[in-house]
Structure 1
């Protein structure tokens, strides 16, 4: 009995058709049929009823199916365990990134990961933070860099940035003369802010709701540079994080918003670490952002010298 025979058996059982099963395992239909017949001879029982248009499992086939799946899963686990120890990761890693992100440490982490594990195919996609969270939950994205007000329930997270919100205005704006800026002060002016679904906007909206304020969001943009550019031209007060505003200190003056105590977070999120590629990417991300590993020790890949 060979693993490929079990693979073909499972494929036929799930597809209920020899032709579709052959397409799935990328060999000819006659090859699948021959291997299934050989497996049946070794087991001494027919596994499929071939009398109808749709192939169905016999009683013996039903009894064998879950054991065949378990054997294939165990064989896959053996290969994965060896790959982890020898650092020969393979497969695909789907990384999500919040729209408008230009955070270069993430790109450094991806480059270092790719250099260490060239056999892993990396795909990168942009979306807003709320949708990225849902894609991580659904398994469509392995790990995502998101802006958030709090770590999403049921997911793991590594916070890479935690910053207060500021109001940023150009020279000559009335707010430049104030020593303190509050939400009520902001509500007296049109605002330029990130759109709903972003972490910064969530923090801002929650603070406004708690203060029973409904400020005017005149303009929305996904990129901090665009928000700053609009505010610099007098189109509204920019609502940004401290580092976003600091990047435009040559044309905008930033004031902490006193009554927004909750920070906006930029965090990597993932659903467990069953995927060894995710664990390795997290290790590279910690190094790129200068974040110590938990407990001050590296992960298994680091210990093995990967």
Structure 2
């Protein structure tokens, strides 16, 4: 018994006529009759009562009809799934990003994704609430995936994998009392003013938690909305900055050199911290509750292939 036998049987049961079934299948009536007979011999039962003017299904035929329809529907779904996988991806993907975080080469990755799937539209979306806002958007289904900073752990509703990391450094003016220190601890920063992101951002939470764990208070004098610009305020004497190394280097003209400025008033130093401040980690996250579309899964697969070891 194969799919051909079942297809012919269902056609005859639908039409209640070998002739009409043959016409619908574009087959000779003799071929349809032979196929049904082969199926009956294989099963050892009669599927049609042929003793009347119009054929009727037997009890065995009724049972087979229900199961045959299920099998044929499953085969149709399998065929569609395979066909979809073999054709060009279409649709749209919405990805959430943290502003000012270029630890992951998003333009380059999306360029490679577009080369593979040119028919997919990619929408990038940020939030004014940092990583906590991206988590909320994922949980509400407003975005398909996100690159975000995880401080403790992702909610159980989300899946995530760390794809990049950067250690924290201290940025101080070149004239600061600690500029020539061989090592700096958080305790040595008691009473200093800082430039940082607003509460709710992953980076702010990491630094706040590190100070709290060390039992050191700190005052954030200026809050900025972009991690990459926080260190740029240090040369102006507006405070110190503790930021991931990539953000410090992005705001300067090079490690240990003055920040880019036509007439720099205050060179800065980028210094490692002796305390165990957790690294800034970027995670790729998506929802556990909703299956990814084929287009979104394709982007997740590319990011994991490109970014994970």
- Structure 1, unaligned stretches of length 5 or more? 1-71, 293-306
- For residue 270 of structure 1, the aligned residue among 277, 283, 286 is 286
CA distance in 1, matches of 2:226, 2:180: 27
C-alpha distance in 1 between matches for 2:78 and 2:135: 28
Name the residue aligned to 1:130. Answer: 132
- 1:75-111 deviations in whole A, cap 9, x for unaligned? 8886455322x15222221111112234561111112
Change (3 A) 1:227 1:279: same
Whole-angstrom CA distance in 2 between matches of 1:77 and 1:212: 60
Which has the greater radius of gyration?
A: 2
Of 147, 150, 160, 2:149 maps to 147
Hey, what's the Cα distance between the residues in 2 that align with 1:161 and 1:233? 30
**Residue 176 to residue 75, structure 1, CA distance change in 2 (3 Å):** farther
CA distance in 1, matches of 2:142, 2:81: 21
Please give the alpha-carbon distance, in whole angstroms, between the structure 2 residues aligned to 1:167 and 1:87. Answer: 51
Structure 1 residues 104, 257: CA separation in 2 closer, same or farther (over 3 Å shift)? closer
Correspondence 1:255 to 2:271: yes
For residues 50-78 of structure 1, what are the alpha-carbon distances to aligned partners after superposition, in whole Å with 9 as ceiling and x for unaligned? xxxxxxxxxxxxxxxxxxxxxx9x98886
Provide, for residues 139-196 of structure 1, a one-character-per-residue CA deviation record: whole Å limited to 9, x for no partner: 1110111122244132222322222221111211112122221222223210111222
Classify 1:118/1:188 alpha carbon distance in 2 versus 1 (closer, same or farther; 3 Å).
Answer: same
Q: Could you say if the C-alpha distance between residues 135 and 218 of structure 1 is closer, same or farther in structure 2, counting changes exceeding 3 Å?
A: same
Aligned residue for 1:281, secondary structure, equals helix
Judging changes above 3 Å, is the alpha-carbon distance between structure 1 residues 253 and 78 closer, same or farther for their aligned structure 2 residues?
A: farther
Distance 1:185 1:150, change over 3 A: same
5 Å-filtered alignment, 1:85-234, equals: 86-103=86-103, 105-127=105-127, 128-154=130-156, 155-234=158-237
Task: With the length of structure 2 as denominator, give the TM-score of the two structures.
Answer: 0.64
Task: Please state how far the C-alpha of 1:287 moved relative to its aligned partner.
Answer: 4.8
How many correspondences in the alignment? 220
Contact 1:94 1:122 survives alignment (8 Å): yes
Q: Is the 8 A contact 2:100 2:229 kept in 1?
A: no
The TM-score normalised by the length of structure 1 is 0.64
How big is the alpha-carbon RMSD for the aligned residues of Structure 1 and Structure 2? Answer: 2.7
